[in-house]
Amino acid sequence: MNDARHSASISRILFLLATLLMASFLGACGGLAGEQEVVSTATPESAPSFTEEDAPEQLPDLHNGAVIFQRNCTECHGAAGDGQGVLVQDGSVPAMPSFLDAEHIRTQKPADYYTIITYGNIDALMPPWLNNLTQQERWDVAMYVHSLRSTSEQIARGQQIYADECASCHGVEGRGDGPEMIDTGRQAGDFTHVADTATLTDRNFFVSIDEGIGENMPAYGDTYSEDDIWAAVAYVRLLGLTNFEPSRDAAIRLAQAGETVTISGMIRMETEDAALPDSLDVNLRYGSQEAGIQAMIAPMQPDGSYSFTDVPAEAEQDYIVYVMYNDQFFISDVLPSNQLLLDNTIDLSLYETIDDPGVITVSQIDTTIARDQLDVGELTSGLVFNQRIRFKNSSDRQFALNAPTESGVQGIISLLIQLPPGSVLLSPLNDPRFLVVQEQYAMVYADPIPPGETDIALTYFIPYETEAVIDQPFQYPIDGEVNVYVAPENINVVSDVLLPSGTQNITGVDYRLFSGDVSADGGASLAYTLQGSLVSQVTPTVVSSDSVLPVILIIALVLVLIIGVFIWRSRRGPSAEVEIQQLIRQIAELDAMHDQGQINHDLYRRQRADLKARLATLMSESQET
């Protein structure tokens, strides 16, 4: 195991130990790493009970579960699921049960596995995956590990028994709609309804088949052997799952340095009534700042597929796939070498562009306010505002505006973001995606806004003594939750909309929360008053949006300034390659920190989107040069 991987493992263990100490008041909980002789898996006391809402929207995909398991779980549970991961073998974590142990797995409920994966298992030093994996992904991996006790031969035998004895009532697909049920108007159990079957153990199924269920189902204990009945149980489980055989593919394992791998996937057009172009080059980029950058190009096939074969796997390298479509880069997530499988799938989504700002709304605004000082000619006391604005693009196209100039230079801009008058922008300042017009308390975001939600983070300072009216204009309609978190104890928010809503601890600091649901047309302002002495009692400072130039004048000024920005970008020279690789490495390191529980999920999500957008901008600039 290389030093970096070992260091990551140690960091994860230290975090989990800290979590264990902080949560030691919780009761004991069994689970994925509990004792092998338990009848059912106990879940953490703080975990909610399993409900219908926890059920997957789609049938769990065992192939996807296998991929997730190999990339996230093998250090503890072993590549084969035998509980012999490297952290178990070196004594870093407690002994794990083997998912290959049929006797053990037959006593476990898949729903408990899902709950343990979701909320963690403190006793076994297993972190929660609630924020790392989607609900569907947690089901995929839960059902995958639960299926490891079954063999292909066992499944084949169970399928034959099911066809001979069960399909007439339960239906060929296990939906409880066999011909005998249709003829009699009755309904047999639906094995595809995971919300029900996941709360049962394999032994529950065995007993029902062996002994029967009253007059509704005959007993088969005298007809079939125990092995046959267990085979039938294994097959019945699969009726609520997909991709059993693909999940057993030997290529679903982590690649070792020196091996070659395949990276393939699909390019999809996500804009309705639009089609993929007839031809498109798909680019693979991999390497590191130290080892240098390598590139491969593959053609997109007519069905949108692409494939790179014989890609070298090397330690401490990162891999991304991208295409250029309509002069815009569409970039995949970063695949670090420690998650590289022998066979990897990376899909990309493309969008057409729309220039109608009516598709943009502000769906959430979160602002934290803390005391600070800033040297603006002289040391000035005031408040620092850390703000996250969540913009929503309701269309199925990316939103962007062309910025033509008299010189013929074309640029892309998207969002106009305005600050409260009197504020001093602290961040972002040197980000190439933003054009800041400090004199007009405004900045323009220069990257397209994809469908869905995009977070923009900014930090600004406002001088403050005893009172200030915060009046922040918004070019776009606001329709969502607004939260203001105030750290200074003696400063209050006065507003008809933002009302006291308790306290919240953020990174060790207690903030009072003022929140409310806001619905406002575009061009309106979010306004509230801050009251309370920060230093000494003096005349209140009142700031108003009246001092901001009309939006049209700001945009005109922005377009003039953009000329210089794009010319400057085009002359930045060869350092762009280094910056690109640094950003790729930062994304990979951020992913690792998130997987190890070292960073808050919301902060991770914002920072990751931010880094990825910066990467797209730099790659676009590099292409232009």
**So where are the chain's domains?**
3-147, 152-247, 254-350+572-625, 357-555
**Cα torsion angle, 220, 224, 230, 234, sign:** negative
Phi, psi angles (nearest 5°) of residue 123: -60, -35
CATH topology of domain 357-555: Immunoglobulin-like (2.60.40)
Phi, psi angles (nearest 5°) of residue 307: -155, 135
Return the pLDDT at 377: 62
Return the pLDDT at 14: 34
Strands 509-520 and 478-486: antiparallel
Provide the CA 337 distance to its chain's centre, in angstroms: 19
CATH topology of domain 152-247: Cytochrome Bc1 Complex; Chain D, domain 2 (1.10.760)
The C-alpha atoms of residue 314 and residue 256 are separated, in whole angstroms, by 8
Number of Cβ within a 10 Å radius of residue 618: 21
Question: Could you say which residues of the chain have pLDDT below 50?
Answer: 1-46, 405-406, 536-574
Return the pLDDT at 439: 80
Number of Cβ within a 10 Å radius of residue 550: 9
Token digits of residue 129: 């995956």
Check for a shared fold between 152-247 and 254-350+572-625.
no
Q: In this structure, which CATH number among 1.20.1530.20, 3.40.140.10, 1.10.600.10, 1.10.760.10 belongs to the domain 3-147?
A: 1.10.760.10
Return the pLDDT at 484: 97
Number of Cβ within a 10 Å radius of residue 111: 25
Return the pLDDT at 123: 76
Locate tokens 């990316």: which residue? 398
The C-alpha atoms of residue 165 and residue 176 are separated, in whole angstroms, by 13
Amino acid at 171: G
Residues facing 467 on adjacent strands: 531
The C-alpha atoms of residue 563 and residue 570 are separated, in whole angstroms, by 11
Q: Which of 357, 371, 278 lies closest to 325, judged by CA?
A: 278
CATH topology of domain 254-350+572-625: Immunoglobulin-like (2.60.40)
Under DSSP, is residue 123 helix (H, G, I), strand (E, B) or coil?
A: helix
Phi, psi angles (nearest 5°) of residue 585: -65, -40
Residue 305 and residue 320 in contact, taking contact as beta carbons nearer than 8 Å: no
Return the pLDDT at 225: 97
Under DSSP, is residue 413 helix (H, G, I), strand (E, B) or coil?
A: strand
Return the pLDDT at 83: 94
pLDDT per residue over 509-533, tens digit each? 899 999 999 999 999 999 999 999 8
DSSP state of 121: B
Under DSSP, is residue 466 helix (H, G, I), strand (E, B) or coil?
A: coil
The C-alpha atoms of residue 425 and residue 386 are separated, in whole angstroms, by 10
Return the pLDDT at 276: 97
- Give pTM, 2 decimals: 0.72
Return the pLDDT at 288: 85
Return the pLDDT at 168: 93
Amino acid at 53: E
Q: Is the peptide bond before 336 cis (omega within 30 degrees of 0)?
A: no
Return the pLDDT at 512: 95
DSSP state of 309: E
Report CA-CA distances (Å) from 89 to 9, 76, 83, 86, 396: 13, 9, 9, 5, 49
Based on its alpha-carbon atoms, the radius of gyration of the chain, rounded to whole angstroms, reads 29
Indicate the Cα dihedral angle 496, 502, 506, 511, nearest 10°. 60
DSSP per-residue codes, 36-89:
TT-SS----TTSPPP-GGGS-SS--BHHHHHHHHHHHTHHHH-TTSSS--HHHH
Contacts of residues 40-46 at CB distance under 8 Å and 24 or more positions apart, as own/partner, are 40/107, 40/108, 40/109, 40/112, 40/201, 41/108, 41/109, 41/112, 41/113, 41/116, 42/112, 43/112, 43/115, 43/116, 43/119, 44/116, 44/119, 44/120, 44/121, 44/122, 46/119
Residue 414 and residue 380 in contact, taking contact as beta carbons nearer than 8 Å: no
